[in-house]
Amino acid sequence: MKPKGIIIRSSPWSVKETIDRLVVILEDRKATVYARINQQSEAHNVGKEIPPLEFILFGNPKAGGLIMAENPIAALDLPLKIIAWQDAEKSVWVAYNSASYLEERYALSHDVIKPADLDPLINSVISKT
């Protein structure tokens, strides 16, 4: 699976632990976590069983505001989102939009999209320290 513009990384943590770690780091960095949705629980509520899958919506209004000022249509991908899920082999994965994809998709300047580069954040989340 390699969707265009999506970065997929493995996580050594469970889905819940991965998202928990992500939320802590985002809050430490003064980002706003708008929502955390446990899709496994939601599916269970309607009689469907899926492996663990959670996602969060988050952002920084100052950085996001600059992006939307440059191209309001970029709001289609804001706030930012990260998903974590467990596959059939019990491996946990994290996926998010690449900043370069968003830059190209919305014809944004490199400086304005730089805060949407989630690679350093994900590296912190999935590290074993």
Kindly state the average pLDDT of the residues 101-119.
96
CB atoms within 10 A of CB 122: 20
Tokens (6 digits) for 119: 């690679």
Q: What are all long-range contacts of 14-19, with beta carbons under 8 Å and residues at least 24 apart? A: 14/52, 14/86, 14/92, 15/40, 15/52, 15/53, 15/54, 15/84, 15/85, 15/86, 15/92, 16/52, 16/54, 18/84, 18/92, 18/94, 18/125, 18/126, 19/54, 19/55, 19/56, 19/82, 19/84
CA distance 102 to 85: 22
pLDDT-derived band of residue 76, with 50, 70 and 90 as boundaries? very high
- Report pLDDT for 2: 78
- Structural domains in the chain plus CATH codes: 7-124 (3.30.310.70)
Mean pLDDT of the chain: 95
The pLDDT tens digits of the residues spanning 5-57 come to 999 999 999 999 999 999 999 999 999 999 999 999 999 999 999 999 999 99
